[in-house]
Amino acid sequence: MFLAGELTDTDCSTGVIETATGQKLGGQSAQAVFEITVTRECAKVNDFKGSITATKGVTTKAGDLALVDTMEGTSCGRTPRRQAPGH
């Protein structure tokens, strides 16, 4: 993913990059590389409290179906369909 500018087989363009201190640098081409890890994790649903708790103890509202934590990252999920007892 290019943050500023672009580089293709036939073209090279530049843009402006802003540093963490607010300094702007023109004539730059910058690319970011992200690493994404996907894992499956079970969580506990508490219907009485309306919450979901992940195995590491991070809790969110059950209706959100997404959990964001700065240390654990972002989790999203679905609630499995519940069957009546005996089915």
Half-sphere exposure at residue 4, Cβ-oriented, CA atoms within 13 angstroms? 13
pTM above threshold 0.75? no
| Domain identity same for 27 and 43 | no
Contact between 28 and 14 under an 8 Å Cβ cutoff? The reply is yes
3-state secondary structure the chain: CEEECEECCCCEECEEEECCCCCEEEEECEECCCCCCCCCCCEEEECCCCEEEECCCCEEEHHHCEEEECCCEEEECCCCCCCCCCC
Q: What is the pLDDT of residues 17-36, one digit of tens each?
A: 888 898 888 887 777 777 87
Q: Same structural domain for residues 64 and 43?
A: yes
Q: In this predicted model, what pLDDT tens digit does every residue of 35-59 receive, in sequence order?
A: 877 777 778 888 888 888 887 788 8
Distance from the Cα of residue 59 to its chain's centroid: 16
Report how many domains make up the chain: 2
Same domain, 54 and 26: no
Same domain membership, residue 19 and residue 56: no
Is there a single domain that holds both residue 41 and residue 26?
A: no
Q: Are residues 81 and 42 in the same domain?
A: yes
Q: Which domain, by its residues, includes 16?
A: 2-31
Are residues 52 and 82 located together in one domain of the fold?
Answer: yes
The answer on pLDDT for 4 being more than 60 is yes
